């Protein structure tokens, strides 16, 4: 098992070798760990048991500094361990692993959170559908709760450029009530489990690191869409996901990142950039996040309101990255 430290910015991503259609794709999984080594071990062992063979599994310890790296090195001898010198956020940690996956010759990069369990048939179903259409660039499974496998978490993400509202299709539904489907096109998918064609990364680049936590997956999918690639949810693949393990359901950081990064996404991908349109987007986003704090969030109201105000303030000040709440 090899160890790596965080390196300076890499040179531009170079196109991979041309592969003959009859050859199977090289799939490299990237699993991100931040102070959840036992979950990470479970996730890696589940994907290693996949019926669809993987070329490699890369585990990125995202500057945990809690002994995670040593435990992962002992328990996962078949993986490549990369150790970042600091926690650069979800995007930076994933990017470290993606660069290494491309260096290893990956045709497909499978991004996985540490808190997922991947059934043996899931990767094969994703890979099969991804290979069926040349303009399909990113696919993801149905996400269900790890602790309540009948409860759907996501069938993909919708995003309205007009209202800036984003939501997960199927959230809260029972999986047994879903009509069967093979493939459904969506605006984006969750970064906790997504399979990406190499060509997408070569064309649009890596995940945007300003976000630190949240919305980088939707940003990536929307950029891929602008570049001509489709994103879809695969109905024949299911992955179990716990959620909120590393940051906590009641942390005000959730509201801070949700508000700040929602504003960042809208500003980055806006098609109308007039002052009026920008102000309308900002008001819509703040209203949506305030409604979340008031009605549905697990974060106590005063903490949630504090996180929201600070998120708005930091966005308009251009302060991104890890934020003030460490």
Mark the ranges of the chain whose per-residue pLDDT is less than 50.
6-11, 17-23
Predicted local confidence at residue 186, as pLDDT: 98
pLDDT digit string (tens) for 4-16? 554 444 445 555 5
Predicted local confidence at residue 317, as pLDDT: 96
CA 246 to chain centre: 14
Place of tokens 């064309």: 203
CATH class of the domain comprising 27-241: alpha beta
Place of tokens 């979340």: 292
Distance CA 156, CA 171 (A): 9
pLDDT digit string (tens) for 229-249? 999 999 999 999 997 655 666
Predicted local confidence at residue 67, as pLDDT: 95
With b for 16 or more beta-carbon neighbours within 10 A and e for fewer, the 39-73 pattern comes to bbbbbbbbbbebebebbbbbbbbbbbeeebbebbb
pTM of the model: 0.91
Predicted local confidence at residue 200, as pLDDT: 98
Predicted local confidence at residue 3, as pLDDT: 55
Predicted local confidence at residue 243, as pLDDT: 75
Cβ(259)–Cβ(284) under 8 Å? Answer: no
Determine the Cα angle at 223 with ends 219 and 226, to 5°: 145
User: How many CB atoms are closer than 10 A to CB 177?
Assistant: 9
């Amino acid at each position: 098992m090899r160890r790596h430290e965080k390196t300076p910015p890499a040179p531009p991503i170079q196109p991979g070798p041309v592969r003959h259609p009859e050859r199977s794709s090289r799939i490299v999984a990237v699993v991100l760990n931040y102070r959840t080594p036992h979950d990470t071990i479970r996730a890696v062992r589940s994907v290693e048991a996949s019926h669809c063979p993987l070329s490699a599994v890369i585990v990125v310890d995202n500057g945990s500094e809690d002994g995670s790296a040593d435990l992962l090195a002992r328990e996962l001898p078949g993986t490549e361990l990369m150790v970042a010198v600091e926690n650069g956020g979800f995007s930076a940690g994933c990017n470290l692993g993606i660069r290494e996956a491309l260096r290893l010759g990956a045709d497909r990069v499978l991004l996985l959170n540490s808190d997922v369990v991947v059934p043996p048939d899931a990767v094969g179903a994703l890979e099969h559908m991804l290979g069926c259409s040349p303009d399909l660039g990113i696919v993801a499974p149905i996400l269900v709760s790890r602790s309540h496998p009948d409860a759907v978490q996501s069938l993909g993400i919708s995003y309205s450029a007009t209202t800036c509202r984003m939501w997960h299709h199927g959230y809260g539904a029972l999986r047994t009530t879903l009509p069967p489907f093979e493939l459904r096109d969506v605006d984006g998918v969750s970064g906790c489990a997504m399979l990406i064609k190499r060509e997408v990364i070569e064309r649009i680049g890596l995940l945007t690191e300003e976000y630190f936590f949240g919305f980088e997956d939707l940003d990536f999918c929307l950029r891929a869409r602008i570049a001509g690639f489709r994103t879809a949810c695969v109905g024949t693949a299911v992955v179990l996901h716990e959620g909120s393990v590393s940051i906590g359901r009641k942390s005000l950081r959730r509201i801070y990142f949700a508000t700040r990064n929602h504003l960042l996404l809208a500003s980055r991908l806006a098609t109308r950039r007039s002052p009026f349109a920008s102000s309308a987007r900002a008001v819509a986003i703040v209203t949506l996040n305030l409604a979340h704090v008031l009605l549905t969030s697990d974060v106590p109201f005063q903490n949630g309101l504090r996180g929201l105000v600070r998120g708005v303030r930091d966005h308009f000040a251009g302060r991104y990255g890890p934020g003030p709440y460490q």
